[in-house]
Amino acid sequence: MATITITIPDAIAPRVINGFAKRYNYSPLLENGDANTETKAQFAKRKLVEFIKSAVREAEIQDAANTAATTAGASADTDIVLT
């Protein structure tokens, strides 16, 4: 398994975590009013993982769609003969 390490200098870590948490709408309270047991840092890490997975998923879906379109076009060009 590969490991990806992101190093954030201590001096700006709160700024990065706060900005990322704000960007993805972290709240210390859940919608039902209960306290959120997920810290800002945990939330930011989870959202970063979700972002990476989503980017890979979208890229692979687009690749598959392009391949399917190329295959379907080639099939139509070869198989459909009209005179």
The tens digit of pLDDT for each residue in 8-58 reads 999 999 999 999 999 999 999 988 989 999 999 999 999 999 999 999 999
pTM of the model: 0.76
* Phi, psi of 53, rounded to the nearest 5 degrees: -60, -45
Helix (H, G, I), strand (E, B) or coil at 40: helix
pLDDT at 83: 84
Q: Say how far apart CA 41 and CA 37 lie, in whole Å.
A: 11
Partners of 29 in the beta sheet?
35
> How many CA atoms does the CB half-sphere of 21 hold within 13 Å?
15
For the chain, domain boundaries? 13-44
DSSP conformation class of 5? -
